[in-house]
Amino acid sequence: MKRGEVLALAGRRTEAEERLCAVAGGDLRPLEGPANLDRQTHELVQIAALVALDGPLVSWVAQLDAADEAQLDLEQVLGALAAVAPIVGTLRVVSAGARIVRATGLTEDTSSA
C-alpha cells in the first residue's frame, strides 16, 4: 500500500495532499490564489512552461519582462533551459533560445554552428 492510500484509510491526509487530490479530480479551486513559490522560482517555472509549450514570441517578451522584474539574469534562464532540456528535447530548447534572443534584442551568433 502506498503512503497516500494508508493516510486515506486512516483519514490523515495533509492539506497539500487533499488539495492535490482535488486537482487530480478536476477541481482547480485549490490552485486559486498565489503560488507557494518565491518570485524567482515562480518566474523560472513560467519559463519552463513556455519552453515546453513552444510559447510564441509575444509570451516570451512578457515573461522575460517579468523575469527581469524578479531580478533573474540570463544565467538563471539558461539554467532553466538546461533543466528542462532532457524532458522537452533539443528542438523545444533551440526554439526557446531563438525566441529569447529575439525578445531580448540580442543577435544570433551563427559562427559557432
Q: What is the pLDDT of residues 18-51, one digit of tens each?
A: 999 999 999 999 888 878 899 999 999 999 999 9
d(C-alpha 13, C-alpha 65), whole Å: 39
Neighbour-count burial of 60, counting CB atoms closer than 10 A to its CB (0-12 exposed, 13-18 middle, 19+ buried): buried
Q: Is the pTM of this model over 0.85?
A: no
